[in-house]
Structure 1
Amino acid sequence: MNALQAFLTRILAVSLLLGLAACATQGSGGLKSVGRGNALPAPDTTNAAGAYEGTSEYRLGANDEIEISVFGVQDLSKKVRINSNGQISLPLVGAVPAGGKTVPELERDLTRLYASSYLQDPQVTVYVTEFASQRITLEGAVKQPGIYPLTGKTTLLQSIAIAKGLDPLADLSGVVLFRQIDGKKMAAVYDMRDLRSGKVEDPLLYGEDVVVVEQSGSKTALRRFIESVPAIGLFLAPF
């Protein structure tokens, strides 16, 4: 993680904590319970081009870099980056929609395009060389906080492992998952012991999710938020 990413991560964490503090000062009216022991709904971006869907393979998105190989035709093999419109530009076939598709789907599309006019029985392979469109943020009491690419189906516990595990001072009952849903931020509080034992379902993560792990005993706005809500609960935060 470079210095800029680290700085942005810290700014994001501070913003989240300030938002929670603002909510806490509003009393019970500042947070609306929408369930207990349930999973957070999928984010708004689930149906958008390039969004990662937790129930399927990774879906390509803007700024992802992919390598396309056509067996036996070196001139058609190249690395390309998906543009902001979700398209790639290739020899012979021109602009091709790639955003929102899985790798197998794109391989089938390219095979069909090349076979329709240019090649006989083409064998097309697509490989993602750089994941850039879907990322998650891990902050707080983890060993390596930062912004990480979401390269496939990833759960909350797996995300903690990606960040090299919890800091020794982490509060096991203070793991908060933030997500943008219908234009509003939602949060779910989890206890690591319940997740590890299977008492609570390990939730899937989506692009732009933020996981914040509280430090045990610290006197922060996040601590006050966690102590004011059920150990496993979902809340709509109007900030």
Structure 2
Amino acid sequence: MKRSIFLAVAAGMMLSACVSSSIGPNVSQGEESYAKIPAPVGGPKAQLYHIGELDRIDITLFQEPEMSAKGMQVDAAGDISMPLIGRVHAAGLTTTELAEQVRTKAARFYVDPQVTVSIASSVSQNVTVQGQVTEPGIFPLQGPTTLLDVVALAKGETENAALDQVVVIRFIEDKRYAAAFNLERIRRAEDADPAILARDIVIVGHSGTKQAWHDVLRAAPLLNVFAQF
């Protein structure tokens, strides 16, 4: 019986050499990863929200209901359209900056207009988590967020996760970058915890070694039954 289980374990370990995953050559590692996707300096800090495409916003002109709007959607070009003043570019602006843009344009038609802008719903401030996590999906970012925070949002990694192969994909100036991090080292405070930004994609890699070992462990009770005959 013991010999049968030993042979199964040995076979599983040999199999792991064939199914183990690896990080591609275009993915940065080590110091290069932190150069592209750095950790927060001095701890996570709250950042001003910048309006994105397809976000919905509320615009209020004091005592001017015909110029006010609830749930106005920013279009794919990053613009909104309002009566009288026409199109206004909103993407990339804070609510205060957009309010000032609208106020300046509305001043041609109203005396000292008072404008407020607020976020009704956010589409742009999300992060996507894929791979070996318990609950993959798209999650809203609320305040400063790090890689450990994002994995926690996805209910943690699975038993077959390759924690040394956690990749973050980010668009910087319209170019796509990918950087790998070691989640185990981050948890031990040996590496810094990188900051995650809106529209990042986090992919937790798959460990063939872990899967082969878990498959062997699950098969062990069955092998024990067969060994009795």
Contact 1:176 1:211 in 2 (8 A): yes
Alignment: residue pair count = 182
Aligned-pair CA distance for 1:176:
2.0
2:81 pairs with 1:89: yes
CA distance in 2, matches of 1:97, 1:111: 13
Aligned-pair CA distance for 1:151:
5.5
Aligned to 1:67, the other structure's residue is in SS state strand
Choose the corresponding residue for 2:201, options 207, 210, 218. 210
Deviates more, 1:62-71 or 1:198-207: 198-207
The alpha-carbon distance between structure 1 residues 149 and 126, as it changes in their structure 2 partners (threshold 3 A), is same
Choose the corresponding residue for 1:145, options 119, 131, 136. 136
CA distance in 1, matches of 2:148, 2:175: 24
CA distance in 2, matches of 1:58, 1:135: 12
Contact 2:50 2:92 in 1 (8 A): yes
Identity across aligned pairs (percent)? 34
Aligned to 2:92: 100
CA distance in 2, matches of 1:72, 1:205: 41
Aligned to 1:173: 164
Aligned to 2:34, the other structure's residue is in SS state coil
**CA-to-partner distance for each residue in 1:23-56, whole Å, 9 max, x for gaps?**
86xxxxx4586763651526xxxxxxxxxxx994
TM-score using structure 1 length: 0.61
CA distance in 2, matches of 1:128, 1:134: 11
Which aligned pairs between 1:148-227 and structure 2 lie closer than 5 A?
Answer: 148-150=139-141, 153-180=144-171, 185-216=176-207, 217-218=210-211
**CA-to-partner distance for each residue in 1:164-192, whole Å, 9 max, x for gaps?**
33335544333222334577654322222
CA distance in 2, matches of 1:191, 1:137: 18
TM-score using structure 2 length: 0.63
Aligned-pair CA distance for 1:89:
0.8
**CA-to-partner distance for each residue in 1:60-94, whole Å, 9 max, x for gaps?**
22211111122333222213111222211112322
2:27 pairs with 1:41: no
The alpha-carbon distance between structure 1 residues 58 and 128, as it changes in their structure 2 partners (threshold 3 A), is same
Contact 2:30 2:180 in 1 (8 A): no
- Superposed CA RMSD in Å reads 3.3
CA distance in 2, matches of 1:41, 1:64: 27
CA distance in 1, matches of 2:29, 2:147: 20
CA distance in 1, matches of 2:89, 2:170: 28
Deviates more, 1:203-212 or 1:166-175: 166-175
CA distance in 1, matches of 2:161, 2:27: 27
**CA-to-partner distance for each residue in 1:179-222, whole Å, 9 max, x for gaps?**
34577654322222332344322222244422111345137xxx
Which aligned pairs between 1:1-80 and structure 2 lie closer than 5 A?
Answer: 30=25, 36=31, 38-41=33-36, 56-78=47-69, 79-80=71-72
Aligned to 2:203, the other structure's residue is in SS state strand
CA distance in 2, matches of 1:142, 1:174: 13
Contact 2:57 2:121 in 1 (8 A): yes
Aligned to 1:83, the other structure's residue is in SS state coil
The residue identity in structure 2 corresponding to 1:218 is Q
Unaligned segments of structure 2, at least 5 residues: 1-20, 38-44, 213-229
Structure 1 segments (4+ residues) deviating >6 Å:
none
Contact 1:62 1:84 in 2 (8 A): yes
The residue identity in structure 2 corresponding to 1:95 is R
Aligned to 1:7: none
